[in-house]
Chain A
Amino acid sequence: METYYHPHDLTKFADMGKGNKELWEKFMAYYGAVFADGALTEREKALIALGVAHAVQCPYCIDAYTQTCLEKGSNVEEMTEASHVACAIRGGSSLVHGVQMRNVVDKLSM
């Protein structure tokens, strides 16, 4: 195996149903309902998914939701901002842990 990630493997996602059909079907029903138009539009949900895909650094999800965002009518400026939202939250979550570092420093220091 040259690499753990192959683009074509994305098309095998449904094979996960072979191990447990019931759980797979429940997951897919839920997944479909999550991404349907609701209080948020399908387009807005796809942008959130793209941001989350960057945060969890899933190449399958980035591939799939980049295409989905384009097919829902989003443009590259909007998609770039979604990536920045993921970046800001990931970066912010590191930085906010600096408070713990400061707490330890305060406790140890004279």
Chain B
Amino acid sequence: MGLTLLSRRDPLASADSQLAKLGATSACPPFGEKMARAGFSPLYATGITVFQINVGKFCNQTCRHCHVDAGPEREEKMTRETAELCIEALSRTDIPTVDITGGAPELNPNFRWLVEQARALDRHVMDRCNLSVLQLAPQSDLAAFLARNKVEVVASLPYFRSSQTDAQRGDGVFDKSIRGLRMLNELGYGQKGSDLILNLVQNPVGAYLPARQDAVETQFRRELLKHHEVVFNNLYTITNMPISRFLEFLIQSGNYEGYMERLANAFNPAAAAGVMCRYTLSVGWEGTLYDCDFNQMLELPLAHGAPRHIRDFDPALLHRRRIVTANHCYGCTAGAGSSCGGAVA
């Protein structure tokens, strides 16, 4: 398993260093200019339908493309006090969906409390799950907990074969992922007629754009059933964002400029219109508010007069806030677009 940028003391561990690299590229015009030409500058939120909580950077895996720079040695974890502020804020709204992410969110000691509180408020809860976490000894009851609370599982699986999946996520992760998926299937997840939803997230294993979402879904459904007897509901394709460890890969492999050019050339105004930041509010492990999880990792909090911390949560100010953008945003507007819910156009 590799190490995080932070533990290697790599300069790219710093958000400022990443932003400097993204700002200095000559491969594409500034994102703001591209958006202005498409009529989306400034970009405003259209409301909040997804309340995304990133509970921290601790993870049992160290995937090569991770935009969080998560790993086993990371110590950032949302406290109960901050989690309580999230639930209190949520209770003052009718936001229908709570999306819990990390790191491996399930390894935060407050994860189950958050799930139960959000469910008690009758909100739909999503867990962004790396699948291998289900097999950690202290988490032996995790899958049953998720099922009991009718949590939608959004599971990462970049490919239906081990070589590609392990190349991105670490040796042996594919086999653990398949065991995790079977465990969920046995509980009813992804099965026809069941209300337990199992969705997959697929992102390219390299410096290229995702394939068409419906085509990939068909391919994964056929291959996972044929070779592993695994079923699922939907598959979401997500473009790799040129930040953190994927940015490191792009630079080291000599693909950085070409990838930025590819993203910018594939700019799609229809995707720009549907970007997830327009309907998502992202809360960091320490309670800071962001437009999305990527801005969170680049330490670009809400601006333009919007509240910056969950303790100052004000739905009226947040629903129509102005979005903070930079060149990494090309990742969400390329081709069919990309979001935590997959393609958007």
Contacts and interface: CB of A to CB of B under 8 A. Distances in A.
A41 to B, nearest CB: 7
Interface stretch (B170-178, B180-188, B212-220, B321-329): B212-220
Interface string B153-181: 00000010100100000000000000000
B211 A73 contact: yes
B113 interface: no
Given A70-B204, A70-B206, A75 B161 contact: yes
Interface string B203-229: 010101111100110010000000000
B211 A71 contact: yes
Interface string A31-52: 0000000000111000000000
B86 to A, nearest CB: 37
Contacts of A75: 159, 161, 164
11 contacts: A42-B212, A43-B211, A67-B208, A70-B206, A71-B204, A71-B209, A72-B211, A72-B215, A73-B211, A75-B159, A75-B161
Contacts, number: 26
Interface in A44-80: 67, 70-73, 75
Interface of B: 159, 161, 164, 204, 206, 208-212, 215-216, 219
A39 to B, nearest CB: 15
B337 to A, nearest CB: 14
Interface of A: 41-43, 67, 70-73, 75
Contacts of B209: 71
A43 B204 CA distance: 15
Q: Is the interface of B mostly helix, strand, loop or mixed?
A: loop
A72 B208 CA distance: 10
A72 B215 CA distance: 8
Contacts of B204: 70-71
Contacts of A72: 211-212, 215
Contacts of B212: 42, 72-73
Contacts of B211: 43, 71-73
A32 to B, nearest CB: 15
B59 to A, nearest CB: 26
A42 B161 contact: no
A11 to B, nearest CB: 9
B216 A73 contact: yes
A71 B212 CA distance: 8
Nearest to B209: A71
A41 B208 contact: no
A90 B345 CA distance: 41
B139 to A, nearest CB: 31
For B204, B210, B211, which residue has the most chain A Cβ atoms within 10 angstroms? Answer: B211
Nearest to A70: B208
B164 A73 contact: no
Given A75-B159, A75-B161, A41 B215 contact: yes
A70 B211 CA distance: 8
Nearest to A73: B211
Nearest to A41: B215
B39 to A, nearest CB: 25
Contacts of B216: 73
